[in-house]
Structure 1
Amino acid sequence: MLLEVGSNIMKFYEYLLRRTDGRVKDYPLMQSPVQMTLILLGYLFFVLYAGPRLMANRKPFQLTSAMIIYNFSMVVLNAFIVYEFMMSGWATTYTWRCDICDYSDSPEALRMVRVAWLFYFSKFIELMDTVFFVLRKKHSQITFLHIFHHSFMPWTWWWGVTLAPAGGMGSFHAMVNAAVHVIMYFYYGLSAAGPRFQKFLWWKKYMTAIQLIQFVLVSVHVSQYYFMKKCDYQVPLFIHLIWIYGTFFFVLFSNFWIQAYVRGKRLPKPVSHQNGVKAECPVAANSKHLENGTLAHGNGSTQNGKVKEV
């Protein structure tokens, strides 16, 4: 039985390597799913076990300068990602409807491949969000949804870059997510800079509104697929996953909006003022920010929304 299971796993692995888009095989972390899976397992080990034990008898690190540099660097990176997505099709040749993946070696297709990989790689950089929480001993912010978003997003995007790196309608959510992260990381960069910048952060309430708009845009755009007479997008599974992801986080953020701004249950100590790193996901149980994104962003989001982030 075990031999049969092992044989099937190896067959699938070999099939996956054959299906891997040749244009991304030489990019870092794209040779197989093993590398990125080990990184994410290491992230989970540090966040859930090693990090808390390391900090148990230590004072929280301040890390103010590091967080300022990190947040504003992420602003620049995400702005560049948005620009590249636009110039690779969304502002040039795409119809914003049934746009399929371009598997050619045209300059525009190769540019889309590069930015798709860069977006994927940025999700590993965003793991620093949680590392800052650990080192600053803000353990209450390291919730299940925060960890889920930060680990699940890069893991799923490996498959996206492997099978469909050349954009199409499946890349719209990435462009929107990166745009939201520009705003979010800018906000948290100012927050990390200290009390003298608090007067410029009056628009905190609208961060949640921006996240909600993100999920609406993504869900509406991808929902077109279900109403078209014909759409030859090559990997429809990604369409279904994007719709589920967008809807799931829209519900979470809607609940947070109601709890915080309709019923008046404001957060006693916002994550942004504690850490200076983004909090993309709301949790109804305690009305606290999780993350971007997504998510994350938001980013997350869960971001990241990012709740990542969505």
Structure 2
Amino acid sequence: MLQGIQDMGSQAMDLYNYLIAGFDPRISSYPLMQNPVPMSIILLCYLFFVLHLGPRFMANRNPFQLKEAMIVYNFFLVALSIYIVYEFLMSGWATTYTWRCDPIDTSNSPEALRMVHVAWVFWFSKIIELMDTIFFVLRKKHGQITFLHIFHHSFMPWTWWWGVNYAPGGMGSFHAMVNSTVHIIMYFYYGLSAAGPRFQKFLWWKKHMTAIQLTQFVLISIHATQWYFMSSCGYQFPVFIHLVWIYGTLFFVLFSNFWIQAYVKGKRLPKQGMKNQNGTAVHTNGKHLENGSKHRKYVTSDGFIHENGTSNGHSTSNSSAHYDNGKMKRA
């Protein structure tokens, strides 16, 4: 039995060494790219904090007020996403790529190295975006920490780490460019939302955010589907085309389910008699007391919680929606 365990360990090490040997040598000098251990530790720590340590730490504490930090964070990600999209365009998608079968340029040309760089920046932006959930935990917005949210924030950086190491560029990078384009819109929206009620008039497109997310997954899946109908294609790592197609389709299904639950079935409604995160009762007549201020909440056909009064010290109008870290708090 001991010999069998040793043989399995040896085979596992052989597989690990084989996987490492296939990495693109141009990416080896970038931080956290030498082996999957540091990246995996970061994601495991993220999951441990979000699912256990953070809620336990906040159990007997009041929610942190992080308005300024969230504004800076969201607009920083807007700027970073703009940079990423521009670099993807300039390193291939707006210059030499055909938007169909585009192999990875494995040379050391300036354009190829530029693509390697932006591929790494895109991956690292996914690590930065883990702060989305950290803000939820510290502000005790537990309702926003869904399976979809955690799966999206942990699964994508883990898979993209392998993608960057093997295939920094080519047709497999299309979904990264599209995702960053969506994030320009998304984090701009979150930043304005976090800035307070006076910016609500600029958020008329709030109901379209989920539709924008769904559109990106359709585009990603359509682009990847081309590969299956090509007579020949020189893209070096078809496995990533399969993963991208699965990714686009899976997240389309998950976000569609969210859309149906939130907008069609209206199941994300506040329960009668429930308590808010500060322990204040919400009565069946819609009135409640939050941080000492009276509120009236009501749900409109768009699926958002509208309120009259103040929320955590910030005044809102009758037609304004309630937001968590800039994300709409749907009914």
TM-score (structure 2 length as normaliser):
0.81
Q: How much has 1:139 moved relative to structure 2?
A: 1.1
> What does residue 275 of structure 1 align with?
324
The residue aligned with 2:214 is 212
Q: CA deviation at 1:33?
A: 0.2
Distance of 2:229 and 2:183 partners within structure 1: 30
| CA shift in 2, pair 1:143/1:262, >3 Å | closer
| Larger strand proportion of the pair | 2
Give a deviation string over 1:44-86, Cα, whole Å, max 9, x none. Answer: 1111111111111110001000000000000000000000000
**Identical residues among aligned pairs (%):** 71
Hey, what's the Cα distance between the residues in 1 that align with 2:214 and 2:165?
29
Residue 174 of structure 1: CA displacement? 0.2
**Matched residue type, 1:217:** L
* Cα deviation digits, residues 177-209 of structure 1 (max 9, x gap): 000000000000000001111111111111122
SS for the counterpart of 2:235 is coil
Alignment RMSD, CA only?
1.9
Q: Name the CA distance, whole Å, in 2 between partners of 1:219 and 1:122.
A: 22
Aligned partner of 2:175 in structure 1 is 173
Counterpart in the other structure of 2:7: 4
Q: How far apart, in 1, do the equivalents of 2:256 and 2:46 lie? A: 29
Counterparts in 2 of 1:259 and 1:65: CA distance versus 1, 3 Å: same
User: Mean alpha-carbon deviation: is it higher for 49-58 or for 174-183?
Assistant: 49-58
Q: 1:108 to 1:68 in 2, by over 3 A?
A: same
> How far apart are 1:12 and its partner, in Å?
1.5
Q: Find the aligned partners of 1:235 and 1:273 in 2 and give their Cα distance.
A: 45
Counterpart for residue 127 of structure 2: 124
- Equivalence for 1:28: 31
Residues 52 and 134 of structure 1 are in contact (CA less than 8 Å); yes or no, is this contact kept in structure 2? Answer: yes
Question: Could you say which residue in structure 1 is the equivalent of 2:137?
Answer: 134
Matched AA of 1:256: F
**Which is greater in Rg?**
2
Q: How many angstroms does 1:16 deviate by? A: 2.0
The structure carrying a bigger helix percent of its residues is: 1
CA contact (8 A) 1:37 1:155 kept: yes
Deviations 1:72-122 (A, max 9, x none): 000000000000000000000000000001111011100000000000000
Task: Confirm or deny that 1:54 pairs with 2:57.
Answer: yes
* Distance in 1, Cα, partners of 2:109 & 2:41: 33
SS at match of 1:105: coil
- Deviating runs (4+, > 6 A) in structure 1? none
Separation in structure 1 between the aligned mates of residue 247 and residue 85 of structure 2, nearest angstrom:
20
Matched to 2:25, the amino acid is G
2:203 to 201, 204, 207: 201
Is the Cα contact below 8 Å between 2:136 and 2:325 reproduced in 1? no
Gaps spanning 5+ residues in structure 1: where? 280-286, 290-310
The one-letter code matched in structure 2 to 1:134 is: V
Tell me which of 65, 70, 75 is aligned to 1:72.
75
The alignment status of 1:162 with 2:165, answered yes or no, reads yes
How many pairs align? 280
In structure 2, C-alpha distance between the alignment counterparts of 1:123 and 1:5, rounded to whole Å:
34
| 1:305 equivalent in structure 2 | none
Question: What displacement does 1:136 show?
Answer: 0.2
TM-score, normalised on structure 1? 0.86
Counterparts of 2:69 and 2:54 in 1: how far apart (Å)? 18
Classify 1:258/1:139 alpha carbon distance in 2 versus 1 (closer, same or farther; 3 Å). Answer: closer
Deviations along 1:196-250, whole A, 9 cap, x unmatched? 1111111111112211211111111111000011112111111011111111122
Matches of 1:263 and 1:17, distance apart in 2:
47
Say if 2:101 and 2:227, in contact at 8 Å, map to a contact too. Answer: yes
